[in-house]
A and B are shown apart, each in its own frame.
Chain A
Amino acid sequence: MVGKIAGFAAIIILAIVFHTFFASLIAIDKVMPDIFIILVVYLTLTQSLTQGIIFGFASGIIESSADPALFGLSAFLKVILAFTVFIFSTRLRLESNPARLIVVLLSVAFHNFVYYLIAYGINLDLVLNVTIKYVLLEAVYTTAITVILIYFSERKLTLKFEA
């Protein structure tokens, strides 16, 4: 149990490190990959719903702590996201990599769209502007990063197997 908690804390710390140190470095015109959502989807699909939900809640609380007015919003959306991904995974076959990539793409798009819709109110102009940049582009960019992560994780597994 202690090992599990330590492992979980390590994942959160790694995600924060990636978010603060590297995400801004690889950002393209302020569009940066959302490592928290990748991990929510990864934990929900490969570990368990509990882990996905707890990670979603914790990372959401941490992420939205920078903006007190929206404190709790990201956590709420990530918990819903983890649950939705789990429901879909029980009904559809999401074991293949393309399916997982589509899940990441839709998850980021859904999370960001609802987030900005609530953050900016029903201001259509603003939402449309933000939708293109921070919803669609960020979803695509996050998916591209996921492709790289999947590639490296599978390569590592192959190397382990060959050894």
Chain B
Amino acid sequence: MIANLRKTLEENKDLGLAVLLAALSLILLILPLNLKQPLAKYTHLVTLSPFQGAAQNLKNLVATSQTNKWLRSQLEESRLQVAFAREALEQNKRLRDSLDFLERKNYVLISAEMQTIDPKRRDNAILVAVRNSAVVAVDRAVVSLYGLVGKTTNVLGNTITVELLTSPNCRVAARDQNTRALGIIRWERGQNLLLDNVPLRDSINVGDTVISSGLGGLFPVGLPIGVIEKIDIPKRGFFKRITVRPFVNFNRLDEVFILKEMED
């Protein structure tokens, strides 16, 4: 029988090859996973992996190119906005001069790098490092690219403790940028803030931006804080209950800037 089979296979080499390769595939298929895993891994590494890597790099390149294009357009837009802002600043200065207003303070930004969260006050404070701690003092406003972060509370060498807006001790005099209604920003729960002390009669809208009013004396005027997410009118009491979603993600802080008054 084997001789017959051999004869048949010799006569028809294609059939023999098909049987051989099918049998080999089946053996590979029924092999235990721990045996065929290295085989599959090596095959993948030699054959598909280089091409998939190249394809991924190509995709990344295209994505980077698109991001670059978008960033360039954003940069152009920002440049234009900066030009308009400069113009408005000059105009504002001229008008303030003509009205004999007090001159506003100017600030410099001292960059600081996030080191760690304060181990004692996990969600409330972070430790940041500055190059030159001599220029930093306590009770300075700290901002990120997105908005107000908190205030400095302790300076120890080059390490500064920053109390975040999510701390129960941190309160900011704030106002609705649109309606100009005044209030006080304080931590509510989780990552949200509460715009407190806004009288029931004051007009305020969901989606409005909340900025620092500068009335507290510690935080300069105009620092963006967050956006109004929810307004509740309590049955009792005199104030509205306004939930604010902060612009800053306090769990993803990298670089922050400490504001220092510019000396004349």
Interfacial residues, chain A to chain B (CB-CB below 8 A): 16-17, 19-21, 24, 48-50, 53-54, 56-57, 60-62, 64-73, 75-76, 79-80, 82-83, 86
Question: Which residues of A lie under 8 Å from residue B31 when comparing CB positions?
Answer: 71-72
Give Cα A162 to B30, complex, Å.
53
Question: Which residues of A lie under 8 Å from residue B43 when comparing CB positions?
Answer: 61-62, 65, 71
The bracket for how many chain B residues form the interface is 20 to 34
The answer to whether B51 and A71 touch across the interface, beta carbons within 8 angstroms, is no
Bitwise interface map of B from 32 to 58 toward A, beta carbon under 8 Å scored 1, else 0: 010011011101100110011011001
> Of A21, A62, A65, A72, which is within 8 A of B55 by CB?
A21
B45 to chain A, nearest CB (A): 9
The answer to whether A62 and B47 touch across the interface, beta carbons within 8 angstroms, is yes
Check B21 for interface membership: any CB of A closer than 8 A. Answer: yes
Q: A64-B40, A72-B27, A72-B36 are in contact. Are A79 and B51 (CB under 8 A)?
A: no
> Of A21, A53, A67, which is within 8 A of B51 by CB?
A21
Question: Which residues of B lie under 8 Å from residue A64 when comparing CB positions?
Answer: 40
The answer to whether B33 and A69 touch across the interface, beta carbons within 8 angstroms, is yes
Question: Which residues of B lie under 8 Å from residue A17 when comparing CB positions?
Answer: 51
Q: Which residue of A lies closest to B30 (CB)?
A: A72
The answer to whether B13 and A72 touch across the interface, beta carbons within 8 angstroms, is no
The answer to whether B22 and A79 touch across the interface, beta carbons within 8 angstroms, is yes
The answer to whether A49 and B36 touch across the interface, beta carbons within 8 angstroms, is no
A96 to chain B, nearest CB (A): 24
Question: Which residues of B lie under 8 Å from residue A86 when comparing CB positions?
Answer: 14
> Which B residues, 227 to 264, have Cβ-Cβ distances below 8 Å to chain A?
none
Give Cα A57 to B52, complex, Å.
21
The answer to whether A72 and B48 touch across the interface, beta carbons within 8 angstroms, is no
